[in-house]
Amino acid sequence: MKRYAIYRRVSTDEQSRPGHVSLEAQAAECRRAVVERSGVVVAEFEDVQSGLQASRPNYRRLKEAVARGEIDAVIVYRFDRWGREPGEALTACRDLQMLGADVESATEPHNDPFLRGLFFLLGYRESQSISQRTISGLMTRARKGEWSGQPPLGYIVQRENGRSVLAVDPMMAPLIRHLFEEAAESRLSLAQLADRAKAAGLRGRTGHPVSRQAVGRMLRNPTYAGCIVYGRTRNGKFTPRGRRPREEWIVSQDAHPAIIDSATFDRVQAVLSRHRAEQGTVRRTRFLLTSLAYCGRCTNTPGPNGVARAWRVYGHGTKGGGHYECSRRGSYGECDLPIISRAGLDQAVKQRIAAAFDFTSEVRERAADFIATEISERRSAAEQQRRDLARSLEEHNRKRVQLARRLMSNLIPEDVYQALEQEEAAAITLIERTLASLPADPPAANVEPVLAALSIVTWRDLEFEDWRDLAVLLIDRIVIYDRSDFEIEFQPAADVVRTALSKLSGFGSRKLG
């Protein structure tokens, strides 16, 4: 007698749709089919998971049971219950056939391999259609200011005029508001903010204290400012995952009552941006280049999610020694950037910084006036460019009028007029685009913090903490290519100061300063 294993599956999406076939109904139909085929059911397996995922636990256990010789055939309600990813499903069927077992359907023809493959493809197409309809519905709800899914901590979902909208949770909202205010006004790390939130009584929905990661997600969530933002990332099953361009986001302002005002939210975002660069200082790192160093060999190499990214270089080791290592090498062993001595790289970076900024006090004092003068000159040059373009635009418009008059006076033929008119129109379009792209004023970097810090630096007496603060202030990133090959990209303000110091010192000579 043929030994059958029943495999039944539903996904969370299917369970929420009316008319879906339940796990019990699938099992009953499969048992009936086994009796008709003079077989016996020796095992049953079920999963509540998407058929696109081959990592379903009981799906794997079923295949292992077949490999042990415990099962002669697998029966499913429909072939799309076996899986919705055609390539993986067909491969699994072939593997089971090689082990002497077959996959049969209780409600569909199962003896024809062509039809079986067709059913798998139809299941895959149905999954695509379901995904597209779901995403379209979520986008429509977001545009209307409706909320979909679990509300963030501090809010509850209410029905209002047939719509699901967020309402403020009066118990949790004051705690979250206090968390945002502390984040905006202090230089506390996320871990320290999480500790303070715990002490204030902020708890997640399970009753546990919020973690550092949860605090970071809360502080970056625009929902707390009364805004619904949908589509920031691509998380669909049939599209590449990753972050969407900002212009593709769906933003619904004032969709629900805000817990914090937009000004506070913006201040918190600025603090979080600085925190990424300053996290080594906040956490008292032992490594000079924490959060500043990147691997030059792994630039734009995809991560586990397939999205190109930058890979940091992290410090490892004890206080007395230590080394730097590419995070891709440390996690996956795939980068050929060698391990670099902490002491050697730190010393080389310090020398590079000192060479760029260690000038006489006289040169530093003159730098502020020199930079202000250069900015003024650049603004004058930009204004002159704007005036020149305006005059050129006026001249081309004048030529178009003259061409029209000559055509009306029959001084030039129609085809010549059309050709010349197109040339003038193209020139005017180009000038207008150039004018639109010109900034109102050339951007001016805030050099005062850099000049203030350099005015009190005594290079020979700097301790580690001083060097760390100086590195964070001056350096945007360090790209490392080899043990002795690296490139320092300075912050915009620091780069302006560096250029000015070099010019004022007589082409870089400190003696001539």
What pLDDT does residue 1 have?
85
Return mean pLDDT, the chain. Answer: 83
pLDDT at residue 414 is higher than 70:
yes
Round to whole Å and give the CA distance between 211 and 98.
49
Q: Which residue has the higher pLDDT, 276 or 339?
A: 339
Q: Which of 67-81, 374-388, 393-407 has the lowest mean pLDDT?
A: 374-388
Q: Which residue has the higher pLDDT, 297 or 277?
A: 297
Q: For residues 69-75, give the mean pLDDT.
A: 92
What pLDDT does residue 34 have?
93
Residues facing residue 74 across a β-bridge? 5, 103
Centre a 10 Å sphere on the Cβ of residue 132 and count the other Cβ atoms it contains: 12
Q: For residues 314-320, give the mean pLDDT.
A: 75
DSSP helix/strand/coil, 295: strand
Q: Which residue has the higher pLDDT, 349 or 134?
A: 349
Q: For residues 13-17, give the mean pLDDT.
A: 49
pLDDT at residue 26 is higher than 70:
yes
pLDDT at residue 382 is higher than 70:
no
Q: Which residue has the higher pLDDT, 294 or 86?
A: 294
Q: For residues 301-308, give the mean pLDDT.
A: 74
What pLDDT does residue 508 have?
43
Residues facing residue 215 across a β-bridge? none
Q: For residues 101-126, give the mean pLDDT.
A: 82
What pLDDT does residue 412 have?
86
pLDDT at residue 154 is higher than 70:
yes
pLDDT at residue 512 is higher than 50:
no
Q: For residues 403-427, give the mean pLDDT.
A: 87
User: Residues, the chain, total?
Assistant: 513
Tens of pLDDT along 46-58? 988 888 888 888 9
Q: Which of 279-283, 382-386, 425-429, 506-510 has the highest mean pLDDT?
A: 425-429
Round to whole Å and give the CA distance between 121 and 21.
20
What pLDDT does residue 282 have?
46
pLDDT at residue 63 is higher than 80:
yes
Q: Which of 42-46, 129-133, 227-231 has the lowest mean pLDDT?
A: 129-133
Q: For residues 496-509, give the mean pLDDT.
A: 70
DSSP 222-266: GGGGT-EEE-SEE--SSS--EEPPGGG-EEETT-S--SS-HHHHH
Q: For residues 384-396, give the mean pLDDT.
A: 84
pLDDT at residue 277 is higher than 60:
no
Name 435's Cβ contacts closer than 8 Å, sequence gap at least 6.
386, 389, 390, 393
Tens of pLDDT along 438-457? 665 545 567 888 888 888 88
Q: For residues 170-181, give the mean pLDDT.
A: 92
Round to whole Å and give the CA distance between 320 and 315.
13
Q: For residues 171-199, give the mean pLDDT.
A: 88
pLDDT at residue 379 is higher than 70:
no
Percentage of the chain exceeding pLDDT 90: 23
Under the banding of pLDDT at 50, 70 and 90, the label for residue 324 is: very high
